[in-house]
Amino acid sequence: METYRPLSMFLECLKPSFLGCCMLVAILLNAVVFVPSAAAQTFENLLAKHAPLIHKSSSKTVAPALSEIVDFGGSVVQKFLLTWRSKDLYFLKKNGQFVYVKKLGDGGMQLINVETGAAFATVNKAAIKQIKPNSGVRAKISASLVPFLLASADHDERAASLDALARDFNKSHLPLLGAAIKTETNVVLKRRLERAYRFGLIGFGLDEDAIEAAIYELEGDLSLETRAVLNPLLSDKLYVAATLPAGINLARVIVPGKTTKLADGKAGRQSIIGGAPVELSLEAAYNMLVDAAMSPALVSVKARNTALIDAVKDGRIGVEEAAGLDNEAARNAAYSSLVLNGSAAEMINQDALRRAVEGAVFYAVYDNPSQKIVTAAKTVLADIEGEVNFYQAIDLLVDGLSLASICFLAAIGLAITFGVMGVINMAHGEFIMMGAYTGYVVQLFVPNYTLSLLVALPAAFAVTFAAGVVLERLVIQHLYKRPLETLLATFGISIALQQIAKNIFGTQARPLTSPDWLDGAWAINDVLAISNIRIAIFMLGLVFLAMLIFVMKRTRFGLDTRAVTQNPAMASSMGINPDRINMLTFGFGSGIAGIAGVAIGLFSKVTSELGSDYIVQSFMTVVVGGVGNIWGTLAGAALIGTLQKGIEWLNPSNTLAAQTYMIIFIILFIQFRPRGIVALKGRAAGD
């Protein structure tokens, strides 16, 4: 037994250490096991810490809370931010705990833990309060969600996160965008991500070469966002010095009192590439010299008079009597004596001011110190400006063609009746109005807008054709060869038709709804977009042009009409009834006006005065193009449409001026070409 005593003593000594080690291991295992619980609890503690900001947040104060919440990370944060943004976040009034809520059928509210997602209680609505962040806070939350949603499997969520990022971009988003670009599979979204990355690199990048490359990669991008990103790179500040300093990123040298010159010597002009001319007056330039301590301050007349008053002693200023200073010359002389005595500052005359200004250099320096970046921005923006100007010219031409199509549709019926019959029909606009109202009535019975449009076009032709025949039989045929009486009669009929329309449909505008496929626009790029309704009207104009040419060239009615137009006596001797042709022609022209009314009503207000807006324009088109000629009407419509849009572009704030200039142009035009662009031979030409 004695031989084992040392071993037993060793074990007795080791026993406390062994127990201590076991306790240490147990503590460590306990810490490892409970770490997730502590982390989850930490998120609630974090929310409690920022509870006042979350309860009543604003876009200016919420940033610190959002920053810490995002840094916490994890799916629990993503769900919390999404719930907060969608105004589905609540808190318990009794202790301020944040909860999600599920509404129960009996009016109760089931509370869901924001950490675990487990339901833990049911309360009534009075026990909780909803958190309603405003639009500014929601925008901040959306920006904070970017790191989570850019990696989302849902395409719409990734697109929405990119929209949010564009509203509140910061430097931390650059690596996130770079990672998202590598994993993105959608071509359109990947292109948007790449552009956003370039924007971020230009705004927050530090590598000059990378920024320059990003700028050149934006060539051909005509979007407003691109111009908004590049334009700040060309911002500058104005300075003055005795000589032009070296080592500056010079924007331009400025000559006070004259037009600003750009650094490359070209005349300054307002454009999207910056370098807008700054008219720096001599006085403003001298004030810059004063601020730079390069010249004494100007002494105003008021300051001169104040100094003279302060210098009066015993009724005298020096040797001069104060009573004798009753003119400017005397006051200037007295003030000069004060300057010589050293008791007043010298007055600067205009010559001295000019010499001081001419002796200094006024220049602008780009805020961005990198000449490479500025040069790249100027080059890309200059290219963009050229393309923008080109597409704006195309857009102006398209607008002119659209207006020309409307003018053609409105005027072609008038051109036919005027050319064949020599009748000045002032009620032509009311046939356009009748066609528009016919389309409205058809839509009341045919709810399908595409089908109703297909029905409305022939219905409008039939209604206005019949109305035109009735008008010709009852009134017009009794007034041939009497243009003044015809004008007055049709003018009175137009007023009567307007009143009848008011009695039937009221004075409020009636909707003539276009089909869904006519909504929207064909967007060629960010500068040029052509509305679908304009394209449709242009195509309708082409269809009618082809139809009219076919009717006039290939049908018996067209042959008879042309015969009566050119020589009614000879046509009558050949068995053609001019009276019948006049009736059908007047009805045909009125029917075309009805179809034009349906087309015009799709984008204009359908009221009883609708035709009044187009009757003058129709007459101008007919007179300029040449009466009774389809090609002349087309040429007149093209000239009127493009010219009016051009005048409106030059003076966009005054559309009435454009119409006035148009009338002046037409008056001058018919002085040199009274028969119009395409002169017609025959009775119409003689009349």
So where are the chain's domains?
1-45, 145-227, 234-367, 395-686
Q: What is the predicted pLDDT for the residue at 224?
A: 86
Q: What is the predicted pLDDT for the residue at 266?
A: 42
Range with lowest mean pLDDT among 11-25, 93-107, 232-246, 400-414: 11-25
Q: What is the predicted pLDDT for the residue at 264?
A: 42
546-573 burial: b if 16+ Cβ within 10 Å, else e: eebeebbeeeeebebbbbbbbebeebee
Instruction: Find all residues with CB under 8 Å of 22, minimum gap 6, and list them.
Output: none
pLDDT tens digits, one per residue of 17-39 = 444 444 444 444 444 433 444 44
Q: What is the predicted pLDDT for the residue at 679?
A: 65
DSSP state of 326: -
| CATH code of the domain occupying 395-686 | 1.10.3470
Coil, strand, or helix at residue 99? strand
CA distances from 410 to 83, 298, 405, 589 (A): 56, 67, 9, 10
- Give me the residue label for tokens 């528009």: 436
Q: What is the predicted pLDDT for the residue at 30?
A: 44
Q: What is the predicted pLDDT for the residue at 3?
A: 43
Q: What is the predicted pLDDT for the residue at 380?
A: 93
Cβ proximity of 401 and 642 under 8 Å: yes
Q: What is the predicted pLDDT for the residue at 381?
A: 92
Number of H helices, E strands in the chain: 27, 12
DSSP class per residue in 13-80: HHHHHHHHHHHHHHHHHHHHHHHHHHHHHHHHHHHHHTHHHHHT--TTTSHHHHHHHHHH-SHHHHHH
Q: What is the predicted pLDDT for the residue at 18?
A: 44
Q: What is the predicted pLDDT for the residue at 378?
A: 92
Q: What is the predicted pLDDT for the residue at 319?
A: 63
Residue 681: pLDDT band (50, 70, 90) is: low
Q: What is the mean pLDDT of the chain?
A: 80
Q: Write the Ramachandran bin of 382: left for phi over 0, alpha for psi from -120 to 50, otherwise beta.
A: alpha
- Paired with 320 in beta bridges are 317
pLDDT tens digits, one per residue of 210-238 = 999 999 999 888 888 888 889 989 988 89
pLDDT at 298 over 80: no
Q: What is the predicted pLDDT for the residue at 259?
A: 53
Mean pLDDT of 120-136: 87
| Cα–Cα distance measured from residue 164 to residue 172, given in angstroms and rounded to the nearest whole number | 14
Q: What is the predicted pLDDT for the residue at 461?
A: 93
DSSP class per residue in 389-426: HHHHHHHHHHHHHHHHHHHHHHHHHHHHHHHHH----T
Q: What is the predicted pLDDT for the residue at 216?
A: 92
pLDDT tens digits, one per residue of 163-213 = 777 776 777 778 878 888 888 888 888 888 888 888 888 888 888 899 999
pLDDT tens digits, one per residue of 234-286 = 988 899 998 888 888 888 888 887 754 444 434 333 344 444 455 788 888 88
pLDDT tens digits, one per residue of 623-665 = 888 766 778 888 888 888 888 888 878 776 666 667 777 788 8
Residue 420: pLDDT band (50, 70, 90) is: low
pLDDT tens digits, one per residue of 425-455 = 888 889 999 999 999 999 999 988 889 989 9
Q: What is the predicted pLDDT for the residue at 23?
A: 44
Q: How much of the chain exceeds pLDDT 70, in percent?
A: 86
Mean pLDDT of 78-96: 87
Range with lowest mean pLDDT among 254-263, 440-449, 488-497, 590-599: 254-263
Range with lowest mean pLDDT among 79-93, 226-240, 284-298, 325-339: 325-339
Mean pLDDT of 337-366: 81
Q: Write the Ramachandran bin of 117: left for phi over 0, alpha for psi from -120 to 50, otherwise beta.
A: left
Coil, strand, or helix at residue 497? helix
Residue 497: pLDDT band (50, 70, 90) is: very high
Cβ proximity of 249 and 374 under 8 Å: yes
Stated pTM of the model: 0.65
pLDDT tens digits, one per residue of 45-59 = 888 888 888 888 788
pLDDT at 533 over 90: no
Q: What is the predicted pLDDT for the residue at 462?
A: 94
Instruction: Find all residues with CB under 8 Å of 616, minimum gap 6, and list them.
Output: none
pLDDT at 376 over 90: yes
pLDDT at 478 over 80: yes
